[in-house]
Amino acid sequence: MRPTLSQFLDALPATVPSNLKALVLDMAAACRDIGQTVNNSAITGKQGALAQENVQGEVQKELDVIANDMMLEPERWHGRVAAVASEEMDTLHPIADGGEYLLVFDPIDGSSNLDVNGVVGTIFSILDAPKGRAVTEADFLKPGKEQVAAGYTAYGPQTTMMLTLGAGTFAFSIDHDRGEWVLIRDQVAIPESTREFAINMSNHRHWEAPVRRYIDECVAGKDGPRGVDFNMRWLASMVGDIHRILTRGGVFIYPVDQRASGKNGKLRLLYECNPIAMVIEQAGGTATDGHQRILDIAPTALHQRTGVVLGSKEEVARVTQYHG
């Protein structure tokens, strides 16, 4: 019988704090509840947009707010979380005095896919909290290499969670018959080479030269300088595209571009790129912003954006080389 998430955590070395293991279980329970809410959203009429924007200037879906509010419920975290930060909030939200950890998350990644029944997900990052004082925004501004755990849950045909605590990436899925998260892939490994890329081609005219060069070479196929045919995939959900890459390899690119809205990138460093980069690296892949390792970037703002290139090592290295 497949081990449950609880059994998996119990088998980790004693150097992994018990409260961190417990927090991962709390996070998994929150994702289970969000997943059920997502599954029922068409029936409950919770898929529509609200007449309001988040701090990013993006129109919020009702489910964005519902999932965010679920993550703010103090009883979920049993005193282990001092404060949280989210894509949907201007600043941090305190949870419990004395909590050992900070939680950063995107409650519903890809919410534009809700009404077409596309893949959406929850992305999360866990950091150490300061001791003996109140949490400030500055406490969240840590390079991604300081994360103690990270992951995401994809709400698709299966509800699947990718998780890392810094010693490999592991996949779990909910067994509804048992009511448990169970291990489905041990030590996930991304193939080093690939012939598949994920990018929003509609932005081609806005990209900088290195990205245009790379994609044009891929699209040229056997007749081009690469001499092989590539496939393009794009789900408009980072979680969905990353999950495919973790399953069969590939490269995901959301670059900076020449528009005012894209000059700093589209995706958020703290609660999208850092946790995904940690998951990718722990599965043997690579993640850069086109110039440097994502996990080495020192954040200066809670909602800082960045370009991102991540996935199979050979292709990420090529894109990064073209930027060099």
Token reading at 29: 């329970």
Q: Which residue has the tokens 């090592």?
A: 313
Any known ligand binding at 200? yes
Does the annotation list 123 as a binding residue? no
Q: What is the DSSP string of 256-318?
A: -BSSTTTTT-SEEIIIIIHHHHHHHHHTT-EEESSSSBGGG----STT-EE-EEEESHHHHHH
87 is an annotated ligand-binding site residue: yes
- Answer yes or no: is 115 a known binding residue: no
Dihedral pair phi/psi, residue 168, rounded to 5°: 105, 165
314 a known binding residue? no
100 is annotated as contributing to ligand binding = no
Please check if 266 is assigned to a binding site.
Answer: yes
**SS3 category, 118:** coil
86 is in an annotated binding site: no
**Binding residue ranges for substrate:** 109-112, 200, 266
**Binding residue ranges for Mg(2+):** 87, 106, 108-109, 272
**Binding residue ranges:** 87, 106, 108-112, 200, 266, 272
